[in-house]
Amino acid sequence: MNHLNIQVESQLATVTLNRPDVRNAFNQEVIAEITQAFVELGMHDDVRCIVLAANGPAFCAGADLNWMRSMADYTYAQNLEDAGRLATMLQAVYECPKPVIARIQGDVYAGGTGLVAACDMAVSVDTAGYCLSEVKLGLIPATISPYVIRAMGARAAHRYFLTAERFDAAEALRIGFVHEVVAAEALDAKVAELVKALVSAGPEAVKLCKKLVQDVAGQAITPELTQMTVQGIADVRVSAEGREGVQSFLQKRKPSWLA
C-alpha cells in the first residue's frame, strides 16, 4: 500500500498511517487503503489485535488540502459518493472483528477524530491536541458524528462540535474520548499492556464482546434486549471456547489459546 505500513507479528497487526508530510491527512487513496486493510485483517486468523498508529508529528489532520480543493467543484451526487467512502472506512474500523487500539502520538483534527472514535480503545500522548474544526469552514462533522458522539458523549459533542475549540489530551481523557494519557516515552508500553490483555483472552469471546457493546450501548432495557443477552451467554457457554475456558479455570491450567 502506498500510504500505509502494515506489519503482522505475534498475533498483532500494526497499521501505520504514513503521510507525515501532510500530517497523515485523508484523501480518496488513503480512505480506500484503510478500508481494505481493516477488512482484510479482520479475516486473518493469525491476527488477534490491531494497533492503528501514525508516523510524524500528527496522528491525523482530517482531509488533505488538495482533496478539499477538488471537492470544491463536486456535484451533489459526487459529494454523496465521496462521503459514502469515508463512512465505509469508519464502519470497516468500527465493525472489524478484531479489537483496535489507536496509538495517538500527535494531534488529531476533524476527520481524524472520527478515525480515533471508531477504534475500541485510544491511548494518547499528553502533548496531543484535538479539534473538531468543521464549523470554522462552514461545514459539519456529519459522517464521523455517530462514532465521535458515542466516544465523547452528547454533552461534550454539543460544545466541541459547535465551538471548534482545540482541547488537550487531559480534556480528551476527562470526557472519555481517550482511555489513557501518557508521556511520549510511555506510549508504547501502555499500548503493549493493552495488547497483552487482548491476546490473553479468548479470541471468540473478544470478538463477541466487541459486538455486544455495539449492540447494547444506548438501548432501552426491553424484554427483547434482555432475551438477546440471555441467548448470548447461553450460546457462549455451550461453545467450544466457552467450555474450554471454564474447564481450564476449574482445572487450574492455561486455556488452549494460551498453551
pLDDT tens digits, one per residue of 186-244: 999 999 999 999 999 999 999 999 999 999 998 999 999 999 999 998 999 899 988 98
Give the mean pLDDT of 69-93. Answer: 89
What confidence tier does 71 reach under pLDDT thresholds 50, 70, 90? confident
Query: What is the phi/psi pair of residue 98, to 5°?
Result: -90, 140
The predicted pLDDT at position 93 comes to 97
The predicted pLDDT at position 259 comes to 66
The predicted pLDDT at position 68 comes to 77
pLDDT tens digit sequence for 86-125: 999 999 999 999 999 999 999 999 999 999 999 999 999 9
Is a pLDDT exceeding 80 seen at residue 149?
Answer: yes
